[in-house]
Amino acid sequence: MRRHRAVAAAALGLALVLGLGACGSKIDAGGDFSPHHAGTLTVATGEIPLVGLWNGTPAHPDGGFEYELARKLAYHFGLAHLEVVVIPFSRLVEGHLGGADLALSDMTATASREKVLDFSVPYLAATPAVLVRSGQDVADLKTARGLSWAVGRSTTLRDFLDTTIRPTGRTVLTSSESETSRAVAQHKVDAGLLDLPVASAIAQASNGELTVAGQFDENDDVSAALPQGSDNVPAVDSAIRSLTADGSIDDLAQRWLGLDLTGSSAQDVPVIRTEGQ
């Protein structure tokens, strides 16, 4: 009799626990996503069009790695609509997302940016890469130092150029990645410093005019930026991990950036070592 009472007590206790679990607010195991506008994922980005990342027009983006990633995120969160807003990159990194739920803008998390933004887990590895006109070779850091450069004004690549490459030639600061690539194409500078995925996409779209001469051995991962204190970070993290695990991000990178992400950064682009130099 005593043993049956004990079993019954244990079963009752278990039922009580399960009942308590059913009370209270529901939780999504992968995190809850609450958009600003019901049913719509609002994504901010710094520049449309940007080859490989955002194709089309600001009013009607229609392709690109980050655009397709945004669509997949919307689908993952069960949101029927996707709205894209263009906010200058310099404003984005200051924390002004223009009311968007998140920003996908080839952005790297830095200490200063983390003071005004929250960042997701990385969705793309982005090493600094050298975009040059075809036929130009940049074999090592010494050669790189002797070149003139174009680089984005508000980007982490500018810090990298100043502290690691330390060019002796002229440096042109640009306000967009397209402007950087144009500076190279129009012979205003010898080389442009861009994230590898962007440089690769631009080179692919240039009909052989431009090429990626090398990448530096420093990893700058790209993450989604969210308003500081956003409760959506866990959900975005889970979504990105899920899309990474099922190969979606690899597929997008292959299709829009011409990159094979299996392993680490693109294996075919030579690495320019910076250690000990």
Partner 1 sequence: MSPLALMSTQLVKLESPKGPALPFLVLFLVVVGGPMIIERFRIPGIIGLLVGGLLIGPHGLGVVGSGNTTVPDLGDIGLLYLMFVAGLELDLRLVHAHRKATAIYSALTFSLPMIAGTVAGLAIGFNASAAVLLGSLLASHTLVVYPMIREMGRGDDPAVATGVGATVVTDTLTLVVLAVVSGVTVGNSGGLEIASQVVIGLLAVGVGCFLVLPRIARVFLSRFGKARASRYVFALVTMLAAATLAELFGIEGIVGAFFAGLALNRLVPNEGDLMERIEFFGGAVFVPIFLVSVGLIIDPAVMADPETLRLAAIFIGACFGGKALAALLTRPLLGYRWPEVGVLFSLTIPQAAATLAATIVGYDIGLFATNVVNAVLVLIAVSLVLSAVITPIFTKRLPIPTEGAGRMGRRVLLAIDPHEPLRRGTAEVARRLAVSDDGIVIPVVVAADESLPSETTWPLTEAMLVLLGIDRHIEVFIDTSTGAGVRHAAHSFHCTSVVADDPAGVLHDQLEGTSVDQPILFVGALTAKQLNRAVVMGDGDDDEVLEDLARRLARTAVPVRDHEAFDLLLQPAGRAQESNGDGDVTCVRVLTGSGGSDDS
Stretch that binds partner 1, among 54-62, 94-102, 188-196, 231-239 (CB under 8 A): 231-239
Which residue of 47, 51, 219, 261 would you call a contact of partner 1, by CB under 8 A?
Answer: 219
Distance CA 210, CA 207 (A): 8
List of residues 6+ apart from 51 with CB closer than 8 A: 64, 178, 181, 198, 201, 202, 204, 205
With beta carbons less than 8 A apart as the criterion, state whether 177 and 201 touch: no
For partner 1, the binding residues in 241-270 under the rule CB under 8 A are 241-247
- Contact pattern from residue 163 through residue 202 relative to partner 1, giving x for each residue in contact according to CB under 8 A and a dash for the rest: ----------------------------------------
Binding string to partner 1 for residues 18 to 37, with x set by CB under 8 A, is what? x-xxx-xxxxxxxx------
User: Scanning residues 84 to 123, which ones bind partner 1 (CB under 8 A)?
Assistant: 109, 121-122
Residue 232 CB, nearest approach to partner 1 (Å): 11
Candidates 15-23, 144-152, 189-197, 202-210; binding stretch for partner 1 (CB under 8 A): 15-23
Query: Cβ 129 to partner 1, closest distance in Å?
Result: 18
Nearest of 207, 273, 256, 195 to residue 70 by alpha carbon: 256
Question: Closest CB to partner 1 among 17 and 271?
Answer: 17
Single residue of 116, 237, 254, 258 touching partner 1 by CB under 8 A: 237
- The site that binds partner 1 (CB under 8 A) totals a number of residues, namely 41
Distance CA 5, CA 13 (A): 12
178: phi then psi, degrees, rounded to nearest 5: -65, -40
Nearest 5 degrees, angle CA 10-CA 14-CA 18? 170
- Closest to partner 1 by CB, 182 vs 241, is 241
Q: Which is nearer to partner 1, 202 or 243 (CB)?
A: 243
33 Cβ contact list (under 8 Å, min separation 6):
77, 79, 232, 235, 236, 239
Of 69, 130, 235, 257, the one binding partner 1 (CB under 8 A) is 235
- Answer yes or no whether residue 10 interacts with partner 1 by CB under 8 A: yes
Which chain residues interact with partner 1 by CB under 8 A? 3-4, 6-7, 10-11, 13-14, 16-18, 20-22, 24-31, 109, 121-122, 219, 221, 234-235, 237-247, 275
